Amino acid sequence: MAPEDADGKPDTLPGRLKPTRVGAEPAESPSMATEVVIWGAGGHATVVADLILACPDYRLAGFLVEAAWRASAEPALAPFILGGREQWNNLRSRGVRHAVVAVGDNGARFALGLELAAAGFAFPTLVSPAATVSGSAGLGAGTVVFPGAVINAGARIGRHCIINSGAIVEHGAELGDGAHVSPGAVLAGKATVGERTGSGAGATGIEKVTVGPGSIVGAGAVGVDNLPGGVVAFGVPARVRRSNGNL
């Protein structure tokens, strides 16, 4: 049986969520934690919520998703969905001015980040306590780093990136805005991947390899040669299989 928290609820994700209703007075908090709202309510959003709940500096305000997508929301998150874009002004008026975009599609995640920024939201950088990040690495706003990930010296990670569980970004590697390094993927030293790129689970990019913007490198692939932008590549070694039109 799951342990219970102070409110008698099971210590699971739903039991630990305590979002404030939109329009309600903010609850008093002795820690004065910054409230953060998550855009998205799928599986990725549950993991981002865990990062927020693990950080005493932040408090989860709830989830946002447009009505057309609510049927595909994780059932555990459905009671905590506050609405969609129509709630942005309400949230900011009650002091919720920080957001994280928890959307798996790289292009959509980055575009939503720009839209939220234009609406006046700022973006925390969330790092799991179980991740290892060098003090000389740089992480962009809205980027999330999950448990077991390693980001080594001098790496540069753009805005709204996902460094997934167990991923490794080695020294001097660079990731453009909106990139995603999937679980167990490795980018070796000084590798460079463009904005909105995706490295599949267990994929490897060797030292100094370059991947152009919008490209997808399939699960388990080994990138030994530079790849252009807007393509799908997979295999060992990774070869371009088709265009994806995501330049």
State the catalytic residues: 171
Find the radius of gyration of the CA atoms of the chain: 19
Place of tokens 């929301």: 73
Q: Please give the Cα distance from 172 to 195 (Å, whole number).
A: 16
Q: Please give the Cα distance from 83 to 99 (Å, whole number).
A: 14
Interior angle at CA 221, CA 216 and CA 222, nearest 5: 110
Among the listed residues 68, 5, 69, 16, the one whose alpha carbon sits nearest the alpha carbon of residue 40: 69
Q: Please give the Cα distance from 91 to 98 (Å, whole number).
A: 10
